[in-house]
Structure 1
């Protein structure tokens, strides 16, 4: 009797700590939560740091007793950063040179991916390998030839230098989006398209009426990734756009120089004319703020797209 009672207590303790097959117990859940909190902190720490310093006055920054929480919310840093970045005009220009190529790239990648997924033609696998190989080739190798080519076409200094590659399936990391659509369209049952074709629908109508509505998560995830990559692209943007177009990341790259032009370059710290960490962090926060807003508005579809358009090898 004592042995059975001890065994039951032992089994109950093991079930409570480890759980059924090590998945539902307290020990397992604690490990998972600690791991997720640690990973979350690694990602959130830069945002928390920027948010804290962007709201600090110069006195708080110089005060060693003030660490994370400022003594008062100091919004003058954002006011100066807004003037340095010319935030609203630059934001409109940034959306113009990032959203439009992202839309075109997503549309073209969907058509190419659908063609690879649904049609049989000579050298199909070879062409698919070549498409994926474009992702392996570093863009630095094709940067100079493209610059010369765009210069001859008169595309430098305008959005055509981003739009033309996107229209031809050669935008930023287009191979990834083609692969996403290829995998997603392969998972759509062919019986649906065959039924539509029996009713007299052509290939274009089948693509628009059946394929596109069922691939909405793939469109969302491709557009968001393309938008973010075009947004963060500074080297090619500076090379192709010159002084004709600008973006928030480009303005952030020359933030200190622009600040020194607007304010006293050699001013005394007491006057507040000298750039400090708080103003830099405020400029960085303004630069990434639109991306954070886009993510929070679309996170539901973003997660769904990641889940449904992942490369599973099927």
Structure 2
């Protein structure tokens, strides 16, 4: 009798330990509480690192000078102070400059995405002499820093008379030599390699040529790769200030370039003279200018977030 009770107790204890272990560590195919806690803890920590600067800028951009100087006001301003944005708008000349920025970023991004897709498809679906050498050369363009080729490119563009014009960005993108074009070519190469050979053979039996197969079958299947490539290309062209300032000079400019000149431009427009203390530049105005520069990218991301996440998930690309 005692042995039977002891056996039942051992069985209950063993069952409870298994349930506890299942709850904490999970089973095959499921995650336990500790695993989920670790994963969500890491995600929250990484998310905070990325979101903190944005939240800090947003909070300070709505603060008046009194709030900025008040140590009791940390995150929430005492009032919704919009004068910072009004001044940042006027300093940046926002809407005309936004149109000009889109002009010098969207067109090269579209050209780069289209050309990278065509080159990636050629490397993935065709076999030709010297293919491996050409592919290595394409990847080498990403390894070589752009500062190394900047002077030869500047002299070459000067001979072509395209300095100060969008062609300084558009022509390299159209020939597969835009900003980080090698990454996008590799993305399309990996994506088109997964293209089923049977579909291509069936289309050829129906009389379809290579270009028709590319436009009617390959492109619809590679929509995630197009979304990822365009968004990354758009962001990189938007944030490029070094090459843009050299190749465009004073003829063209962008919001990030003007943000670098924000302090000097503000002091010219709002000189702090004759006792006009309200004209002095402060952190709130600087943060407002930075938020205005980042805002278009945030809007694009929120609009395309669903397709972007789906594209990353389907193509297995993590980006950078």
How many angstroms does 1:35 deviate by? Answer: 1.4
* Alignment partners' CA distance in 2, 1:146 and 1:123: 26
* Alignment partners' CA distance in 2, 1:102 and 1:24: 41
How many angstroms does 1:197 deviate by? Answer: 1.1
Cα deviation, 1:216-273, whole Å, max 9, x if unaligned, reads 11111000000000000000000011001010000100000000010014575x7320
Asked whether 1:306 is paired with 2:295, we answer no
Secondary structure of 1:158's counterpart equals coil
Asked whether 1:272 is paired with 2:278, we answer yes
Name the residue aligned to 1:197.
Answer: 204
Distance 1:147 1:135, change over 3 A: same
Secondary structure of 2:286's counterpart equals helix
How many angstroms does 1:152 deviate by? Answer: 1.1
* Alignment partners' CA distance in 2, 1:127 and 1:83: 49
Distance 1:73 1:146, change over 3 A: same
Which stretch of the first structure deviates more once superposed, 110-119 or 4-13? 4-13
* Alignment partners' CA distance in 2, 1:255 and 1:267: 22
Name the residue aligned to 2:255.
Answer: 248
Asked whether 1:292 is paired with 2:298, we answer yes
Normalized against structure 1, the TM-score is what?
Answer: 0.96
How many angstroms does 1:163 deviate by? Answer: 0.7
Cα deviation, 1:43-72, whole Å, max 9, x if unaligned, reads 110110000000000000000111111101
Asked whether 1:87 is paired with 2:89, we answer no
Asked whether 1:64 is paired with 2:64, we answer no
Is contact 1:102–1:223 with CA below 8 Å preserved after alignment? yes
- RMSD of Structure 2 on Structure 1 (CA): 1.4
**Structure 1 unaligned blocks of 5 or more:** none
Secondary structure of 2:279's counterpart equals coil
Distance 1:22 1:105, change over 3 A: closer
* Alignment partners' CA distance in 1, 2:252 and 2:226: 27
Name the residue aligned to 1:283.
Answer: 289
How many angstroms does 1:21 deviate by? Answer: 4.8
Name the residue aligned to 1:38.
Answer: 45
How many angstroms does 1:311 deviate by? Answer: 5.8
Instruction: Write the mapping of 1:7-18 to structure 2, written as runs, cut at 5 A.
Output: 7-18=14-25
How many corresponding residue pairs?
Answer: 311
Normalized against structure 2, the TM-score is what?
Answer: 0.94
Rg bigger for which structure?
A: 2
Name the residue aligned to 2:246.
Answer: 239
Instruction: Write the mapping of 1:218-237 to structure 2, written as runs, cut at 5 A.
Output: 218-237=225-244
1:101 to 104, 108, 126: 108
